[in-house]
Amino acid sequence: MSWLRRNLGLDGFDLVIHVGVTFMFMFFVGMSNGPEELLPVITGISMLVLAVRRRFALKAGGTIGLTTGEMAAERIAELEERVAELEAAQAEVAELAERLDFAERLLAKGTRDPERIGPGAP
């Protein structure tokens, strides 16, 4: 997935068409000797339309234009990543359990042999 689609929800072609239509309106106003105050209004409306399109595209999850195979591949990759994270967490839990067992054995051994511990430093 391209950077534009991931961050804007739209691909480059959509953006080129959007900018082209905006410049066509601005060119039309300029050539028809329309009020120049209309140019910032056209720009603002264009940005508002782009923001609405971006919101709908990102809300759709960026899956517009993806084939079922591509969607399945992305889903599988996401699941594999989650499984790897889960395995890492399980390994960490196992290591912590071993450390806890060691600490429990060390404490149990210390209560049976109090003379081995000895007095603290003065």
Q: Above pLDDT 90, what percent of the chain?
A: 25
Domain ranges of the chain: 1-65, 66-113
pLDDT attached to residue 50: 85
User: Taking the model in full, what pTM does it have?
Assistant: 0.43
* C-alpha span between 106 and 109 (Å, rounded): 5
**pLDDT tens-digit map of 72-119:** 888 899 999 999 999 999 999 999 999 999 999 999 887 665 555 555
Average pLDDT over the chain, rounded to an integer: 81
Tokens of 41: 């209004």
